[in-house]
Amino acid sequence: MSAQNSSAANLVLASGSAVRATLLRQAGIPFDVQNSQVDEDAIKERFADSNIDDLAIKLAAAKAVAVSTERPDAMVIGADQILSCEGARFDKPRDMAEARTNLKFFHGRTHRLHSGVVLAKSGAIIWHHSAHADLTMRAFSDGFLETYLATVGDKVLTSVGCYQLEGPGIQLFENISGDYFTILGLPLLPLLDELRRRKVVSQ
């Protein structure tokens, strides 16, 4: 799948995330998309005791390495994001009931998004970066929550936090501290800096 008109596809995004692809596309970066077949649950279980920032990097690295082994000609971007709140770790909700439960837990609390991004080449990690952002949800009513879920629908299941800031999800919050791109799951500025340094994109 080509995400941009690119005759020499030397950059590959190892992710099915439409948001990450959109960020790269809007930045004017030519790239291809190739999903990895990595078992994320197995990695999370294996490294359950890891620092959460480190776990985000491990997940991103597994994706990048898997795809770069298949595409040794390309530089591969792997990225992942984990949410933590008051000592608990959260994954994408499996269904609307779990999304509702998670949002009720997050409401009135501050949670942290941990985002990791990795570059791999020929099956080896050549660069990595992690960043986090803190987001505080307001104490919204049950009525607002139900309206929000009805408005957003199944899209709520595509995000670890059950929201997209670029949509109605922004109404869930009273305070946000951190880089916008990190919140979206791809620390874009350090990634672009490294791609320029490696002459993958124009300086």
Cβ–Cβ < 8 Å for 134, 177: yes
CB under 8 Å, gap of 24 or more: what pairs does 45-49 form?
none
Specify whether 80 is catalytic.
Answer: yes
Q: How far apart are CA 117 and CA 200, in angstroms?
A: 16
Backbone angles phi, psi at 72, to 5 degrees: -65, -15
The single residue of 41, 49, 80, 134 carrying the catalytic annotation is 80
Q: What is the DSSP letter of 93?
A: -
Structure tokens at 3: 């995400």
Which helix (DSSP H) or strand (DSSP E) does residue 118 occupy?
A: strand 110-121
The CA dihedral of 85, 62, 29, 9, to the nearest 10 degrees, is -160
- Determine the Cα–Cα distance for residues 145 and 143; give it in Å rounded to an integer: 5
Active-site residue set: 80
